[in-house]
Amino acid sequence: MSAGSGYCVDCLSQMYGEPVKAISGYLSEVGIVGHQAECRNCRARKETFKASPSSEPEGRNAEFG
């Protein structure tokens, strides 16, 4: 698994206790795009998401994955 991998929307949904539709809407709203990679949680190869460095709060690693 690469250091740059993120989490799939299904795992994000479980982690945040929100429906997949809500997670997908939020990701789209803030401009976070997915890419095909291995999910850091379930290890499935599917569309995964992580915050870009420009969207992280200063001095804090706020990536999804």
Higher pLDDT, 56 or 5: 5
In a domain, 12, yes or no: yes
Residue 45: name the closest of 15, 16, 10 by CA: 10
> Within a domain: residue 44?
yes
Residue 60 falls within a domain, yes or no?
A: no
For residue 28, give its domain range: 7-55
Number of domains in the chain: 1
pTM beyond 0.85, yes or no = no
Over the stretch 16-35, which tens digit does the pLDDT of each residue have? 999 999 999 999 999 999 99
Tokens of 3: 């250091």
pLDDT at position 60 is 41
Q: Is the pLDDT of residue 39 over 90?
A: yes
Short-list 2, 29, 18, CA closest to 10: 18
The pLDDT-based confidence of 65 (bands split at 50, 70, 90) is: very low
**DSSP 8-class letter at 31:** T
Residue 1, in any domain of the structure: no
